[in-house]
């Protein structure tokens, strides 16, 4: 049970965000309002108000920055993507709530038959969804996309992209202190400060010691965040003056050691493979690698639905690396199969919220399935429509960047967009195993989309007007006013 401080932190975060916008540059204030809330606000604590989604460490920062930019800062907020594909995917992701709610009005009953008489006893039930739930789910979907849409407008420049990398690195360095404390003493900071532990303590014990959680939902979330901090530090080191590069490489080494101490094999492999890519591989190949990651992340769930993934071969390869990891992966595959069978009953629009997409004991209502990957959660909740729109919207910026370098090369690219593309791509890959979609993932995707829109020709939406010249990343670019066609 969260204590009073947990709810107090949620309540004052809009004021914290306002102070950030009053004292920092807009780009930095936007980033730290989102990232700071994700890192330091309590997990699981939330305000449940009627007719609106739960207000928690995700929705409160998102709503705060939107209101501040629209009213307190007097900024012209443009939430409409210029890319037609992005516009359709945004609309589809938000509006997918409507058919999902309308097709799940029936309650799910858990029943026991009497042994002597044909009498049915209802032991428990999951309520159906009604029209009043449409507004709540619509608002939740819109709030989820706030970082994506604001980053597209305000963080698409070279300056904004660098600020994202810098924030990830600084955030990793700040988080290293509580992480090291928890590595030594076990994950206790959330208990000491907010009054509760956010997960099963068994999940914190690894390799004869502990892996840190701090204020994130799980140690896997923290390990992935440290991986992105490491990759960001590598990207900044690559583009630092040669005379100062050794200082940045010391930070890279420090974050690499910290990533090892997080004791997550997947994140450690990501960091070990991708850090050399960030440091030495040309930008165009980094983007192509990110596109490949996004392609796998989208195609894998489709192949799983049609039972075309060689699970036995994958488990055999995992067994060669680690027996424990193979058992963990087999556990995930088993529950994926159960959840896929459940989702197949309502494939188009899903089962909706409140745990309706999970597998339950038909008599007691006990939950029998454990959803790990983000894709299976989205697929079970919102069906094919929600899955295609969410994963498509995350992958679209990478595909657009890949299309641009295929047509025009990488001469006009910001040096910071390629490492961010790699970070987004590997996060999408991790979402096949874990539900590690965070507000900062959306913010990164939005910044890359905005950069792609700046680079692509005919990116402006609006009436025809004479061709004008603008400057994009220090180079002249021609805009014609036609609606984009990509």
| pLDDT score at 325 | 74
| pLDDT score at 355 | 87
The answer for residues whose C-beta is within 8 angstroms of residue 257's C-beta and 6 or more apart is none
The answer for residues whose C-beta is within 8 angstroms of residue 126's C-beta and 6 or more apart is 107, 108, 354, 355, 356, 360, 365
Quick check: 443 and 151 in contact, CB under 8 A? yes
3-class DSSP state of 419: helix
Calpha distance 443→230 (Å, rounded): 18
What is the per-residue DSSP string for 306-338?
A: TT-S-HHHHHHHHHHH-HHHHHHHHHHHHHHHH
Q: How far apart are the first and last CA of the chain?
A: 48
**pTM of this prediction exceeds 0.75:** yes
Other beta carbons within 10 angstroms of residue 151's beta carbon come to 28
Percent with pLDDT over 70 in the chain: 92
Residue 459 has pLDDT above 60, yes or no: no
- Flag the least confident range among 234-243, 327-336, 378-387: 327-336
Quick check: 121 and 114 in contact, CB under 8 A? yes
Helix axis angle for 283-305 and 323-343, nearest 10°, is 60
Tokens of 138: 């619509």
Mean pLDDT is highest, among 41-50, 106-115, 125-134, 455-464, for: 41-50
What would the mean pLDDT of 41-61 be, rounded to a whole number? 91
269-316 pLDDT per residue, tens:
999 999 999 999 999 999 999 999 999 999 998 898 888 888 888 888
- Flag the least confident range among 6-15, 246-255, 403-412, 431-440: 403-412
Residue 160 has pLDDT above 90, yes or no: yes
Better-scored residue on pLDDT, 57 or 333 = 57
In degrees and rounded to multiples of 5, residue 356 shows phi and psi of -70, -25
Residue from 372, 482, 388 nearest 435 by CA: 372
Predicted confidence band of residue 167 (pLDDT cuts 50, 70, 90): very high
169-182 pLDDT per residue, tens:
999 999 999 999 99
The answer for residues whose C-beta is within 8 angstroms of residue 422's C-beta and 6 or more apart is 231, 274, 277, 278, 286, 289, 290, 293
345-384 pLDDT per residue, tens:
999 999 998 889 999 888 788 888 888 889 999 999 999 9
| pLDDT score at 286 | 96
Exposed (0-12), middle (13-18) or buried (19+): which is 135, by Cβ within 10 Å? middle
């Amino acid at each position: 049970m969260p204590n009073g401080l947990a709810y107090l932190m949620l309540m004052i975060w809009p004021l914290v965000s306002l102070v950030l916008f009053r004292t920092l540059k807009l780009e930095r204030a936007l980033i730290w309002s989102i990232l700071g809330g994700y890192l330091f606000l309590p997990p699981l604590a939330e305000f449940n108000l009627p007719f609106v989604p739960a207000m928690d460490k995700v929705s409160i920062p998102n709503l705060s920055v939107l209101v501040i930019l629209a009213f307190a800062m007097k900024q012209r907020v443009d939430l409409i993507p210029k890319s037609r594909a992005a516009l359709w995917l945004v609309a589809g992701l938000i509006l997918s709530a409507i058919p999902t709610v309308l097709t799940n009005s029936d309650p799910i009953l858990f029943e026991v038959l009497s042994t002597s008489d044909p009498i049915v006893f209802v032991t428990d039930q999951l309520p159906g969804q009604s029209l009043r739930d449409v507004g709540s789910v619509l608002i939740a979907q819109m709030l989820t996309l706030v970082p994506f849409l604001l980053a597209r407008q305000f963080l698409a420049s070279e300056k904004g992209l660098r600020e994202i990398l810098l924030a990830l690195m600084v955030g990793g360095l700040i988080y290293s202190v509580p992480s090291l404390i928890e590595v030594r003493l076990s994950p206790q900071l959330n208990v000491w400060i907010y009054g509760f532990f956010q997960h099963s303590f068994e999940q914190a014990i690894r390799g004869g010691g502990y892996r840190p959680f701090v204020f994130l939902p799980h140690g896997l979330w923290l390990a992935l965040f440290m991986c992105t901090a490491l990759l960001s530090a590598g990207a900044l080191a690559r583009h630092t003056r040669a005379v100062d590069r050794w200082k940045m490489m010391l930070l890279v080494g420090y974050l690499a050691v910290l990533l090892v101490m997080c004791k997550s094999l997947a994140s450690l492999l990501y960091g070990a493979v991708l850090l050399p890519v960030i440091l030495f591989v040309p930008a165009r190949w980094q983007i192509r690698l990110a596109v490949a990651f996004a392609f796998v992340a989208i195609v894998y769930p489709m192949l799983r639905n049609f039972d075309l993934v060689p699970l036995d071969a994958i488990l055999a390869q995992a067994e060669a690396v680690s027996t424990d990891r193979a058992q963990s992966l087999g556990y995930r595959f088993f529950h994926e199969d159960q959840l896929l069978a459940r989702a197949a009953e309502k494939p188009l629009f899903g089962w909706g919220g409140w745990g309706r997409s999970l597998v339950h004991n038909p008599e007691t209502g006990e939950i029998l399935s454990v959803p790990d990957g983000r894709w299976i959660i989205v697929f079970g909740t919102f069906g094919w429509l929600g899955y295609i729109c969410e994963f498509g919207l995350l992958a679209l910026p990478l595909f657009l960047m890949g299309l641009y370098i295929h047509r025009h090369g990488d001469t006009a690219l910001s040096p910071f967009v390629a490492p961010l593309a790699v970070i987004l791509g590997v996060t999408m890959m991790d979402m096949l195993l874990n539900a590690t979609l965070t507000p900062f993932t959306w913010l990164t995707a939005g910044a890359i989309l905005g950069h792609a829109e700046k680079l692509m020709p005919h990116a402006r939406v609006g009436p025809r007007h004479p061709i004008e010249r603008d400057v994009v990343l220090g180079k002249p670019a021609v805009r014609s006013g036609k609606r984009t066609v990509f």
